[in-house]
């Protein structure tokens, strides 16, 4: 079954950290018994689970302990000793729960993977599950919603109730019938009259836990022409879905064919095809067999050793700070104005770097493509591209003679090579007066945009350290800026009849070592910069 869970809108009393959601943070990973492996087990998607654990710990205000790696190794070793009683055969699947308490204790528990009850379906359609209603989810604040936290009892109660009724899992609904989350899976819907290839799942910006399994499946689905889209899903969307599956670390992939909305009233959903189920099963198989799929659990411990207190990278070469923040679109604009007023950005920040201002703003509904807003701190290295002079043959032509080269008539100018693309590399100098120094200017030249971009990347490898917080889209040394349309001249053989005037600026890039990042989905701010950076 599906169990539809209603979210109570009553704000209960705030619990102390030892009892409320901020008492702990956890993640639950797939575990596969392997007698050929030391200590007998593999886990799936190590990096992604650690990133989510670290992110949720930041939101809940829980410090990742400095000894996380050794503590995790000890906890998993202890849990693995119990797998003979939990997982009977080689290759059996289970679940490993990793929990960090508010006081820094690390605990692990290994349990068997539960097999959901199924319902009869049409011949050839495959297995399927059903659903039922449940109410009782507390109204947590925005920083807690979407986290795997220490007050998980309501989720457990929803799962227990569903299991007692023969259900597979539970949907969590708001009072107005919106799907907030699911108990231990992520529902994926194919909706009628939706654009071809779009699949929908509950929006993490509205409180859903981001599914590691679904993220891992996304590349396969994209190659098959499908795009995963977060959406505000209502009950009527579920009931009208042409196909629906649920995805999770423990459940894998299951098809949903019936939904019991309330009081025993069951509604059938979907048609006779199980195409979505088969495609998602294939996607999960590929994800688990990929390089970042099944890995010895010791690899997880190695990755965990890079995590330090406050969710920052343990490397001393990178400064990172984070704090809870609003999810408002305007926050980064307010930060930009305040940084400018405090002499940390723009013309007043020349003691730190160039006055050039670079700001990336995401607005509107939060999704995977507009989750972050980013402010680049004062840059110290930039790359400028200007339109080169035309070949001598072209320069001597009467402009009116170009009319005979008409692409509409099939006349394309291909015979003359275009001048190489050239980027000027400039360093910010703190001399009096400060400015972009011509004394240290060098040049990057190439016959194609791709060649010069690779050289620009190599010219930026001397940055002082990079962040280990890999879920953020930027780090120390990220190249950012503007690539003008006219750079197409170095991407294909066709020459423009009317190129920009010589010396026109057509591209401007920066090596950005300092960032302020606003994660709109999680309502959190990050500062990233080299260690001991004065601006940071």
Taking Cα atoms as reference points, which of 238, 243, 208, 231 lies closest to residue 4? Answer: 238
Q: Higher pLDDT residue, 311 or 303?
A: 303
* Count of domains forming the chain: 3
463, part of any domain: yes
14, part of any domain: no
CATH number for the domain spanning 252: value is 3.20.10.10
CA distance 355 to 428: 10
User: In terms of DSSP bridges, do strands 227-231 and 198-202 run parallel, antiparallel, or are they unpaired?
Assistant: parallel
Residues 219 and 269 in one domain: yes
Residues 336 and 366 in one domain: yes
pLDDT, tens digit, 9 for 90 and up, residues 150-166: 999 888 887 887 787 77
pLDDT of 393 reads 58
Place 130 in a pLDDT band, splitting at 50, 70 and 90.
low
Which of helix, strand or coil describes residue 310? helix
Specify the residue for token string 């604009």: 333
- The beta-strand segments (E) located in 127-264 are 132-137, 169-173, 179-182, 186-190, 198-202, 227-231, 243-248, 252-255, 258-262
Find out whether 343 and 535 touch, Cβ atoms under 8 Å: no
Residues 370 and 506 in one domain: yes
Residues 179 and 92 in one domain: no
Secondary structure element (H or E) that encloses residue 529, with its range = strand 524-530
How high does pLDDT run on average in the chain?
82
CA distance 390 to 419: 7
Evaluate if pTM is beyond 0.75: no
19, part of any domain: no
Q: What share of the chain has pLDDT > 90, as a percent?
A: 41
Find out whether 98 and 29 touch, Cβ atoms under 8 Å: yes
pLDDT of 505 reads 97
Is residue 361 over pLDDT 60? yes
Q: How far is CA 454 from CA 419, 466, 483, 485, in A?
A: 19, 19, 14, 19
300, part of any domain: no
427, part of any domain: yes
Residues 453 and 333 in one domain: yes
Structure tokens at 34: 């392997």
DSSP code per residue over 242-279 = SEEEEEETTTEEEEB-EEEEETTEEEE-S-S--HHHHH
Residues 46 and 105 in one domain: yes
CA distance 500 to 321: 44
116, 151, 184 - which closes a domain: 116
Find out whether 24 and 16 touch, Cβ atoms under 8 Å: no
Residues 94 and 141 in one domain: no
In the Cβ-directed half-sphere of 82, how many Cα atoms lie within 13 Å? 14
Find out whether 521 and 371 touch, Cβ atoms under 8 Å: yes
Looking at the DSSP assignment, which residues form a beta bridge with residue 445?
422
452, part of any domain: yes
116, 140, 169 - which closes a domain: 116
pLDDT of 266 reads 81
pLDDT, tens digit, 9 for 90 and up, residues 220-235: 998 999 988 888 888 8
Residues 430 and 466 in one domain: yes
pLDDT, tens digit, 9 for 90 and up, residues 59-90: 888 989 989 999 999 999 999 888 888 888 88
Cβ count near 325 (within 10 Å): 18
Residues 324 and 444 in one domain: yes
Domain that holds residue 206: 128-289
Residues 529 and 417 in one domain: yes
Least confident of 4-13, 312-321, 389-398: 4-13
CA distance 535 to 351: 9
pLDDT, tens digit, 9 for 90 and up, residues 242-257: 999 999 998 899 998 8
Q: How far is CA 504 from CA 375, 384, 386, 424, in A?
A: 26, 10, 5, 13
CA distance 251 to 26: 18
Least confident of 28-42, 201-215, 426-440: 426-440
297, part of any domain: no
What is the mean pLDDT of the segment spanning 444-470?
Answer: 77
Is residue 135 over pLDDT 70? no
Find out whether 379 and 347 touch, Cβ atoms under 8 Å: no
Residues 191 and 332 in one domain: no
Rg (CA), the chain: 27
Looking at the DSSP assignment, which residues form a beta bridge with residue 529?
319
Phi first, then psi, for residue 425 (nearest 5°) are -100, 120
Q: What share of the chain has pLDDT > 70, as a percent?
A: 81
CA distance 460 to 448: 19
Residues 321 and 281 in one domain: no
518, part of any domain: yes
In the Cβ-directed half-sphere of 214, how many Cα atoms lie within 13 Å? 27
- Most distant CA pair in the chain: distance in Å? 87
Is residue 17 over pLDDT 80? no
116, 150, 174 - which closes a domain: 116
């Amino acid at each position: 079954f599906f169990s539809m869970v209603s979210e109570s809108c009553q704000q209960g009393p705030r619990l102390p950290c030892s009892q409320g959601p901020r008492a702990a943070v956890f993640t639950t990973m797939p575990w596969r018994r392997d007698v050929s492996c030391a200590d007998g087990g593999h886990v799936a998607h190590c990096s992604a689970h650690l990133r989510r654990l670290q992110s949720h710990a930041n939101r809940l205000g829980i410090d990742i302990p400095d000894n996380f790696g050794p503590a995790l190794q000890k906890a998993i070793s202890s849990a693995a000793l119990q797998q003979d009683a939990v997982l009977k055969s080689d290759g059996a699947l289970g679940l490993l729960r990793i929990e960090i308490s508010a006081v820094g204790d690390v605990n692990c528990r290994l349990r068997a993977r539960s097999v959901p009850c199924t319902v009869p379906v049409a011949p050839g359609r495959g297995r399927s599950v059903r659903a039922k209603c449940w109410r009782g989810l507390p109204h947590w604040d925005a920083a807690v919603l979407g986290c795997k936290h220490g007050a998980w009892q309501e989720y457990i109660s929803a799962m227990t109730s569903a299991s007692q009724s023969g259900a597979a899992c539970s949907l969590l609904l708001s009072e107005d019938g919106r799907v907030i989350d699911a108990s231990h899976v992520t529902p994926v819907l194919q909706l009628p009259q939706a654009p071809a290839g779009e699949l929908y799942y509950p929006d993490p910006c509205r409180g859903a836990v981001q599914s590691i399994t679904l993220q891992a499946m996304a590349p396969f689905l994209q190659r098959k022409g499908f795009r995963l889209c977060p959406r505000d899903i209502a009950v009527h969307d579920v009931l009208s879905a042409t196909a629906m599956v649920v995805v999770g670390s423990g459940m894998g992939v299951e098809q949903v064919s019936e939904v019991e909305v309330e009081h025993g009233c069951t509604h059938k959903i979907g048609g006779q095809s199980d195409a979505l189920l088969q495609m998602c099963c294939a996607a999960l198989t590929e994800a688990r067999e990929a390089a970042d799929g099944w890995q010895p659990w010791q690899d997880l411990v190695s990755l965990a050793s890079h995590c330090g207190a406050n969710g920052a990278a343990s490397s001393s070469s990178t400064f990172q700070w984070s704090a809870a923040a609003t999810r408002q679109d305007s926050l980064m604009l307010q930060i930009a104005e305040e940084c400018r007023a405090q002499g940390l950005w723009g013309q007043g920040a020349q003691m730190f770097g160039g006055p050039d201002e670079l700001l990336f703003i995401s607005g509107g509904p939060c999704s995977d493509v507009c989750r972050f807003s980013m402010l680049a701190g004062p840059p110290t290295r930039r790359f400028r591209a200007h339109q080169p002079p035309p070949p001598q043959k072209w320069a001597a032509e009467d402009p009116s003679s170009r009319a005979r080269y008409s692409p509409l008539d099939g006349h394309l100018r291909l015979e003359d090579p275009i001048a190489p693309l050239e980027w000027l590399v400039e360093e910010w100098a703190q001399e009096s007066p400060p400015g972009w120094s011509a004394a240290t200017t060098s040049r990057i030249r190439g016959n194609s945009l791709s060649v010069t971009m690779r050289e620009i990347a190599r010219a930026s490898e001397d940055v002082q350290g990079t962040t280990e917080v890999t879920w953020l889209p930027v780090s120390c040394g990220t190249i950012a800026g503007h690539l003008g349309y006219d750079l197409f001249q170095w991407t294909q053989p066709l020459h423009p009849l009317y190129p920009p005037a010589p010396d026109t600026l057509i591209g401007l890039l920066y090596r950005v070592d300092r960032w302020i990042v606003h994660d709109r989905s999680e309502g959190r701010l990050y500062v990233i910069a080299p260690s001991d950076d004065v601006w940071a």
